[in-house]
């Protein structure tokens, strides 16, 4: 038993050293790529096993059930103006193909609900509630993606409503336009003539079979780019969408096989069988979408690829990071370079973004840093660097997470401890004295 345990522990230590304790920049390109893939796969599985992705997918299923009919009703009204509203039913039928024979039944029921939702019957209040319910679904989706991307700040209320309406109103038009263009190209006379040649015909036929995969991947990539309240790189979004799209199509095929071979559900649940199967597929779909978002996140921010679940910085690390952040921002300010953003600072300092953000918020709150402007993301010194005292930076960082409920004044008096603490504070102030941020910069600036 002892030997097996020691062998297992030795294997774990060896694996950790080979995958997690190596500097990727020092490795050959292929090995570096393989280790990154293993790290991301491990972290996504860990997030999945932790249950948080499952809980969020279940929450989205509940919101989807409430919002699906209003969302489709709004989209139906928009598409009707473009004369393509009749394509909703074939698209829904295609999306629900994994449900097997029940897909036609569920699609027909949903379309009948949508057609019965008429603005004239609903009235002004009913129409407002219809739009509000549809918008709430997109808001819930954004919160789920923001959590995946470690985004604390939500969109401003004014931007939120306009962005959500753009997704709801313009999104369906773009999707159906893409489908229409694809169908037109496929049916074009030139394409039909080329298909008469064996080799070209085989390639065109294979390409036609790949179109559903490509449309799903493109749709997922657009969701990853536009929904989170952060800048998502196109490459990272595409990699996450590629994995999620292939998973969605593959699991859909497996789910269809499962539904076809499990007729006992109808005997057990009777009329509820279709609803239960539909809810299971909805949860799987949301789970796959969230898994793809996690892959995109870990690809874009490799500094998060660690075994540590939560970023917990020590006090001295916070203090040094704050000084380095101030020095980098001041240097760019003097050199008239673009302002540092939180993401750029995190990558330069090789620290997670969610470790940098609390420091930046604290420095902004204490008027040591300022946001560049609403059009130019980034940070600038809030004071002239030659006037900004280093002791103020350290003092601001040392008070992070203190509030009116939890602070030094709430602690009971202890004369000797209080004296030690005062001496420590005074020593820090004396050592920094009147040093300014300008003194951290190169002499030629």
Domain boundary among 241, 273, 304: 304
Q: What is the CATH number of the domain that holds 350?
A: 1.10.10.10
Whether residues 183 and 225 fall in one domain: yes
Token pair, residue 417, equals 């401890």
- Model confidence over 254-290: pLDDT tens digits? 777 776 666 665 555 555 667 777 788 888 888 998 9
* 310 part of a folded domain: no
Whole-number Å distance between alpha carbons of 106 and 65: 13
Whether residues 27 and 109 fall in one domain: no
Domain that holds residue 289: 52-304
Whether residues 294 and 170 fall in one domain: yes
Other residues' Cβ atoms within 10 Å of the Cβ of residue 242? 18
- Model confidence over 249-263: pLDDT tens digits? 788 777 777 766 666
Whole-number Å distance between alpha carbons of 197 and 191: 11
pLDDT for res 369:
92
Chain mean position to CA 108 = 33
C-alpha distance from residue 226 to each of 106, 231, 233 (Å): 30, 8, 11
* 445 part of a folded domain: no
* 398 part of a folded domain: yes
Backbone angles phi, psi at 24, to 5 degrees: -65, -30
Whether residues 230 and 360 fall in one domain: no
Mean pLDDT of all residues belonging to the chain: 76
Whether the pLDDT of residue 209 is over 80: the answer is: no
Q: How many residues are given for the chain?
A: 445
Average pLDDT over residues 210-222: 77
Whether residues 346 and 396 fall in one domain: yes
- Model confidence over 48-76: pLDDT tens digits? 888 888 888 888 888 777 777 666 666 66
Q: Are strands 379-381 and 369-371 parallel, antiparallel or unpaired?
A: antiparallel
- Model confidence over 39-50: pLDDT tens digits? 889 888 888 888
pLDDT band at residue 295 under the 50/70/90 scheme:
very high
Whether residues 128 and 271 fall in one domain: yes
pLDDT for res 1:
46
118: three-class secondary structure by DSSP = coil
**What residues contact 13, with CB distance under 8 A and at least 6 apart?**
none
Whether the pLDDT of residue 15 is over 80: the answer is: no
* 367 part of a folded domain: yes
Question: What region does 97 belong to: left with phi over 0, alpha with psi -120 to 50, or beta?
Answer: alpha
* 382 part of a folded domain: yes
- Model confidence over 118-158: pLDDT tens digits? 545 555 655 666 667 767 777 788 888 888 888 776 676 66
pLDDT for res 72:
66
Token pair, residue 43, equals 């972290």
pLDDT for res 245:
86
Whether residues 38 and 154 fall in one domain: no
Whole-number Å distance between alpha carbons of 380 and 286: 39
Other residues' Cβ atoms within 10 Å of the Cβ of residue 226? 15
Backbone angles phi, psi at 254, to 5 degrees: -65, -35
Share of the chain above pLDDT 90, in %: 8
Residue tagged 């569920």 (tokens): 106
**Angle CA(12)–CA(17)–CA(19) in degrees, nearest 5?**
95
Token pair, residue 19, equals 């995958």
Whether residues 184 and 169 fall in one domain: yes
Whether the pLDDT of residue 304 is over 70: the answer is: yes
Whether residues 17 and 64 fall in one domain: no
Whether the pLDDT of residue 328 is over 90: the answer is: yes
Whether residues 320 and 404 fall in one domain: yes
Share of the chain above pLDDT 70, in %: 65
Domain boundary among 304, 334, 364: 304
Domain boundary among 279, 304, 329: 304
pLDDT for res 376:
64
Whether the pLDDT of residue 354 is over 50: the answer is: yes
Is residue 148 a contact partner of residue 226, using CB atoms and an 8 Å limit?
no
Residues in a beta bridge with 436: 389
* 309 part of a folded domain: no
Whether residues 38 and 72 fall in one domain: no
Handedness of CA 419, 422, 427, 428 (dihedral sign): positive
Domain count, the chain: 3
* 419 part of a folded domain: yes
Q: Nearest to residue 104, comparing CAs of 274, 324, 338?
A: 274
Whether residues 104 and 225 fall in one domain: yes
* 109 part of a folded domain: yes
């Amino acid at each position: 038993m002892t030997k097996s345990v020691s062998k297992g522990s030795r294997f774990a230590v060896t694996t950790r050293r080979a995958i997690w304790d190596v500097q990727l920049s020092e490795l050959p390109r292929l090995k570096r790529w393989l280790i990154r893939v293993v790290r991301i796969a491990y972290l996504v599985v860990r997030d999945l096993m932790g249950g948080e992705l499952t809980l969020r997918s279940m929450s989205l299923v509940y919101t989807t059930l409430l919002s699906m009919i209003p969302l489709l009703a709004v989209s139906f009204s928009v598409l009707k103006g473009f004369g393509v509203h009749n394509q909703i039913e074939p698209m829904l039928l295609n999306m629900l193909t994994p449900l097997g024979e029940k897909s036609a039944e569920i699609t027909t029921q949903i379309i009948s609900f949508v057609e019965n939702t008429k603005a004239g019957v609903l009235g002004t209040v009913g129409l407002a509630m219809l739009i509000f319910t549809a918008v709430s679904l997109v808001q819930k989706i954004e919160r789920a993606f923001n959590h995946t991307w470690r985004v604390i700040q939500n969109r401003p209320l004014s931007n939120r409503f306009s962005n959500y309406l753009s997704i709801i109103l313009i999104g369906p038009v773009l999707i159906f336009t893409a489908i229409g263009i694809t169908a037109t190209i496929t049916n074009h006379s030139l394409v039909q003539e080329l298909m008469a040649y064996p080799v070209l015909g085989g390639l065109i036929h294979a390409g036609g079979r790949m179109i559903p995969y490509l449309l799903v991947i493109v749709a997922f990539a657009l969701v990853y780019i536009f929904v989170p309240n952060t800048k998502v790189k196109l490459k990272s979004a595409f990699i996450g969408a590629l994995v999620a799209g292939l998973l969605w199509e593959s699991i859909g095929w497996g789910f269809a096989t499962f539904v076809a071979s499990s007729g006992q559900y109808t005997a057990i649940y009777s009329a509820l069988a279709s609803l239960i199967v539909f809810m299971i597929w909805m949860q799987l779909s949301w789970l796959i979408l969230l898994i793809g978002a996690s892959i995109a996140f870990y690809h874009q921010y490799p500094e998060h690829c660690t075994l540590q679940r939560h970023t917990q910085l020590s006090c001295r690390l916070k203090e040094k990071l704050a000084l380095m952040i101030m020095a980098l921002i001041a240097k760019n300010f003097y050199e008239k370079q673009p302002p540092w953003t939180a993401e750029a600072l995190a990558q330069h300092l090789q620290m997670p973004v969610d470790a940098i953000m609390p420091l930046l918020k604290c420095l902004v709150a204490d008027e040591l840093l300022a946001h560049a402007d609403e059009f130019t993301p980034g940070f600038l010194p809030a004071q002239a660097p030659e006037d900004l005292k280093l002791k103020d930076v350290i003092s601001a960082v040392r008070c992070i997470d203190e509030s009116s409920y939890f602070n030094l004044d709430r602690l009971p008096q202890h004369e000797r401890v209080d004296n030690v603490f005062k001496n420590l504070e005074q020593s820090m102030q004396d050592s920094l004295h009147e040093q300014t941020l300008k003194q951290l910069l190169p002499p030629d600036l």
